[in-house]
Amino acid sequence: MIKIFEPFLGEEEKKELSRCIDANWITGGPKVKEFEDEIALLTGADYAVSCMNGTIALYMSLVAMELDKSEYFEVIVPDFTFIASANAVVLAGGRPVFCDVKRETGNIDLESAKKCLTVWTKAIMPVHIYGQSANMDQVLAFAETHHIKVIEDAAQGVGVYWKGKAVGTFGEVGIHSYYADKTISTGEGGMVLTNNKEIANRCIRLKHQGRAGRGWYIHEEIGYNFRMTDLQGAVGLAQLRKLDNIIQIKKDHEEIYREKLKIDQVKFLENNKFSSTVPFRHNILVKNPTKLSKYLKENGIETKPFFSPLHLQPCYNDNHIGNGGTYKRDPNNFPNSVWLNMHGLSLPSSVSLTLNEIHYVCKTIVNYFKENSDENISDNPNT
């Protein structure tokens, strides 16, 4: 079976882990600090604060932005994203309000976001979906016009830039995720990025049981244990040294997929003109992804559907999401999110894929459409 994704780990990670064990320091310590410094250098952020995972990074960011000072607050979240984007808002005491996305890219649609604005709207959360930047010029202008804050979900955006500036560094705060399938991985892990010293210090206290540091028992506020370990930091450092190579391989693989699948029955998401895309997944759009996925599985190829629209998630019924104009559980309010879910399929995306494996995946897809040549994808959201 050609897996949908496998982590890209090797001797470099083993060596870094061995150094931690030899030093007998495996909880948060010098490796975590070094990893934070390297991420800050990579992104240009003044502060990088590590934590357990991307969801917690979003939560800490929302709390540190003091959105929770309102008795009730709402955050505009794209309907087409992994559910953690919305869950973090709930965890921070707010309500997510879902807006539609652009069909061409999967990124946030600000015309739809306008319909979500209420007196309770305190922030907007652009998600740099599948490793491509949202239009940050438009997002920042939208936020300024409506006097709200920007929190960037750049969980899938390591190494991605908008007009030469790293995603996650445009708003008041942004985050990375280092889960196993991300561009670089620490197994589990997240990072808060900000140029605001007060936000950074608040995040440090939140992850350190309400303290500015470890080793004493004075707690300035309620905090938690959201720390990253040195074992994770060590793996992250090894991954960072391979980042340029990882990005180039991902781009090369994407180019092959696009070249080999130039057939009428297959479409691809468009690339933003000003975004440097780092493919989080190699994605295609087809008429019947469920049927194609079954065929590929029968031929030893693992795939995944696109993200399910948040407004259709069972946990987000009308009692659990905000009061914005498009939050109702009505697919007519989210035609592009629904369409992408209906037609999207993620193909094997491991950095370790061989060229023979990619060629085999593409050949198998082409063979499928030779047998199903009438399956032409339509732009009609109802088909």
Provide φ and ψ at 331, rounded to 5°. Answer: -55, -25
Q: Length of the chain, please?
A: 383
Residue 101: how many other CB atoms lie within 10 Å: 27
Q: Is 114 designated active site?
A: no
One-letter identity of residue 37: D
Contact 87, 320 (CB under 8 A): no
Q: Is 330 left (phi over 0), alpha (psi -120 to 50) or beta?
A: beta
**355 backbone φψ class: left, alpha, beta (φ>0; ψ -120 to 50):** alpha
Report the distance separating Cα 244 and Cα 179, nearest Å: 18
* 10-16-19 Cα angle (round to 5): 140
Q: Which of the following is catalytic: 102, 149, 182, 287?
A: 182
Cα–Cα distance, 265 to 284 (Å, whole number):
10
Yes or no: say if 4 and 303 are a contact pair by the CB < 8 Å rule: yes
Structure tokens at 303: 């795939």
Rounded to whole angstroms, how far apart are CA atoms 244 and 242?
Answer: 6
57 closest CA partner among 171, 168, 229, 177: 177
Catalytic residues, which ones?
A: 182
